[in-house]
Amino acid sequence: METWIAVVRMTSIYVFAAMLCPVHAGQDHKAWKDYGGGADSSHFSELRQITKANVNQLRVAWTYPTGDDAAYVFNPIVVDNVMYVLARKNSLVALDAAMGKEIWIHENLPGLTTRGIAYWESRDRKDRRLIFAINNYLEEIDARTGKSILSFGTRGLVDLKEGLGRDPKTVVRIQSNTPGRVFEDLILLGSAPGESYLSPPGDIRAYNVITGKLVWTFHTIPHPGEPGYDTWPKDAWKYSGGTNTWGEISLDEKRGIAYFPTGSPTYDYYGADRIGSNLFSDCLLALNARTGKLLWYFQMVHHDLWDYDATAAPQLLTVRRSGKTVDAVAQSTKQGFLFVFDRVTGKPLWPIEERATPKSDMPGEQAWPTQPFPTAPPPFARQHMTADDIDPYILTAEERARWKERFKHIRNDGMFTPPGLSESLSLPGARGGSDWGTVASNPSKGLLYLTTQDWPTIYKLSLEDPLRQRGSARPSGGKDIYEKRCQACHGAGGAGSASGPPPLINIGRRLGPDAFRQVVRGGRGEMPAFRDLDSSSLSALLEYLNKAGGDKPNEMGKSRGPAVASGGAPGGLDIPETDGAHYSPLGGPPYPAGLNLHLNRYYTAWGLYPDQPYVIGPPWSSLVAYDLNSGTIKWKVPLGQDAVAAREGAQKTGAFMAERHGIIITATGLLFVAASDGKIRGYDADTGEVLWTAVLPAGSEGIPAMYEVGGRQYLVVPASSRINAGGGHALSGSPAESKPTGVPAYVAYALP
Q: For 72-99, what is the mean pLDDT?
A: 96
Integer CA distances (angstroms), 118 to 35, 277, 586, 720, in order:
7, 34, 31, 22
Same domain, 407 and 508: no
Q: What angle do CA 23, 26, 30 make, to 5 degrees?
A: 165
Same domain, 457 and 473: no
| Per-residue model confidence (pLDDT) at position 536 | 75
| Per-residue model confidence (pLDDT) at position 110 | 87
Residue 734 banded pLDDT, cuts 50, 70, 90: very low
Same domain, 500 and 363: no
Weakest-pLDDT range from 376-385, 582-591, 598-607: 582-591
pTM above the 0.85 mark? yes
| Per-residue model confidence (pLDDT) at position 578 | 47
Q: Answer for the pair 400, 426: CB distance below 8 angstroms, yes or no.
A: no
CATH number for 51: 2.140.10.10
Please indicate, yes or no, if residue 589 is contained in any of the structural domains. Answer: no
Looking at mean pLDDT, say which of 322-326, 579-583, 658-662, 689-693 comes out highest.
689-693
Instruction: Tell me the HSE value of 674 on the side-chain side, using a 13 A CA sphere.
Output: 33
Q: Is 300 exposed, middle or buried (0-12, 13-18, 19+ CB in 10 A)?
A: buried
Weakest-pLDDT range from 85-94, 195-204, 726-735: 726-735
Nearest to 439 by CA among 380, 378, 526: 380
Of the three residues 552, 582, 597, the one that is the final residue of a domain is 552
| Per-residue model confidence (pLDDT) at position 544 | 79
Please indicate, yes or no, if residue 388 is contained in any of the structural domains. Answer: yes
Distance CA 530, CA 538 (A): 10
Nearest to 206 by CA among 97, 110, 318, 287: 287
The pLDDT tens digits of the residues spanning 198-227 come to: 999 999 999 999 999 999 999 999 999 999
Distance CA 610, CA 489 (A): 7
Same domain, 129 and 245: yes
Nearest to 63 by CA among 33, 34, 83, 35: 83
- Select the more confidently predicted residue: 138 or 71: 138
- Select the more confidently predicted residue: 483 or 118: 118
Q: Is 30 exposed, middle or buried (0-12, 13-18, 19+ CB in 10 A)?
A: middle
| Per-residue model confidence (pLDDT) at position 246 | 96
CATH number for 501: 1.10.760.10
When divided into structural domains, the chain yields a total of: 2
| Per-residue model confidence (pLDDT) at position 27 | 78
The single-letter DSSP state of residue 257 is E
Which residues have CB under 8 Å from 549's CB, separation 6+?
A: 494, 505, 506
Q: How many CB atoms lie within 10 A of CB 76?
A: 27
Please indicate, yes or no, if residue 566 is contained in any of the structural domains. Answer: no
Residue 43 banded pLDDT, cuts 50, 70, 90: very high
Give the amino acid at 42.
S
Weakest-pLDDT range from 100-104, 240-244, 432-436: 432-436
Residue 257 banded pLDDT, cuts 50, 70, 90: very high
| Per-residue model confidence (pLDDT) at position 729 | 40
The pLDDT tens digits of the residues spanning 303-362 come to: 999 999 999 999 999 999 989 999 999 999 999 999 999 999 999 999 999 999 999 999
| Per-residue model confidence (pLDDT) at position 25 | 46
Looking at mean pLDDT, say which of 547-556, 589-598, 609-618 comes out highest.
589-598
- Select the more confidently predicted residue: 490 or 351: 351
- Select the more confidently predicted residue: 12 or 254: 254
| Per-residue model confidence (pLDDT) at position 468 | 66
3-state secondary structure of 740: coil
The pLDDT tens digits of the residues spanning 413-425 come to: 999 999 999 999 9
Same domain, 445 and 501: no
- Select the more confidently predicted residue: 550 or 430: 430
- Select the more confidently predicted residue: 284 or 734: 284
DSSP 542-591: HHHHHHHT-S---GGGS--S-EEE---STTTT-------TTS-TTT-SPP
Q: Answer for the pair 292, 216: CB distance below 8 angstroms, yes or no.
A: yes
The pLDDT tens digits of the residues spanning 300-317 come to: 999 999 999 999 999 999
Element (H, E) at 426: strand 424-426
| Per-residue model confidence (pLDDT) at position 21 | 41
| Per-residue model confidence (pLDDT) at position 10 | 40
The pLDDT tens digits of the residues spanning 435-452 come to: 999 999 999 999 999 999
| Per-residue model confidence (pLDDT) at position 611 | 55
Query: What angle, rounded to 10 degrees, do the helices at 478-485 and 535-548 form?
Result: 90
Distance CA 685, CA 646 (A): 25
Same domain, 295 and 243: yes
Same domain, 480 and 406: no
What residue numbers bound the domain in which 408 lies?
A: 2-462+607-750
Residue 104 has φ and ψ, to the nearest 5°, of: -150, 165
Q: For 170-181, what is the mean pLDDT?
A: 93
3-state secondary structure of 84: strand
Residue 526 banded pLDDT, cuts 50, 70, 90: low
Q: Dihedral (C-alpha) 199, 202, 205, 211: value to the nearest 10 degrees?
A: 20
Same domain, 224 and 187: yes
Of the three residues 525, 552, 579, the one that is the final residue of a domain is 552
Please indicate, yes or no, if residue 557 is contained in any of the structural domains. Answer: no
| Per-residue model confidence (pLDDT) at position 451 | 96
Distance CA 434, CA 676 (A): 15
Give the amino acid at 544.
Y
3-state secondary structure of 63: strand
- Select the more confidently predicted residue: 501 or 698: 698
What's the residue count for the chain?
752
Residue 558 has pLDDT above 90, yes or no: no
Please indicate, yes or no, if residue 600 is contained in any of the structural domains. Answer: no
Distance CA 25, CA 35 (A): 18
Q: What is the mean pLDDT of the chain?
A: 86
DSSP 493-526: GG---SSSSPP-TTGGGTS-HHHHHHHHHH-BTT
The pairing of strands 712-719 and 705-709 is antiparallel
Residue 466 banded pLDDT, cuts 50, 70, 90: confident
- Helix segments in 266-361, DSSP class H: none
Same domain, 394 and 532: no
Sign of CA dihedral 586, 587, 589, 591: positive
Give the amino acid at 279.
L
Please indicate, yes or no, if residue 268 is contained in any of the structural domains. Answer: yes
Sign of CA dihedral 247, 570, 106, 146: positive
| Per-residue model confidence (pLDDT) at position 533 | 75
Q: For 463-467, what is the mean pLDDT?
A: 82
Q: For 590-600, what is the mean pLDDT?
A: 87
| Per-residue model confidence (pLDDT) at position 28 | 87
Percent pLDDT > 70 in the chain is 82
| Per-residue model confidence (pLDDT) at position 415 | 94
Q: For 58-70, what is the mean pLDDT?
A: 93
Same domain, 173 and 245: yes
Q: How many CB atoms lie within 10 A of CB 481?
A: 23
Q: What is the CA radius of gyration of the chain?
A: 24
Same domain, 429 and 472: no
Same domain, 373 and 485: no
Please indicate, yes or no, if residue 315 is contained in any of the structural domains. Answer: yes
Q: Give the chain's count of helices (H) and strands (E).
A: 8, 39
Please indicate, yes or no, if residue 592 is contained in any of the structural domains. Answer: no
Which residues have CB under 8 Å from 534's CB, separation 6+?
A: 577, 580
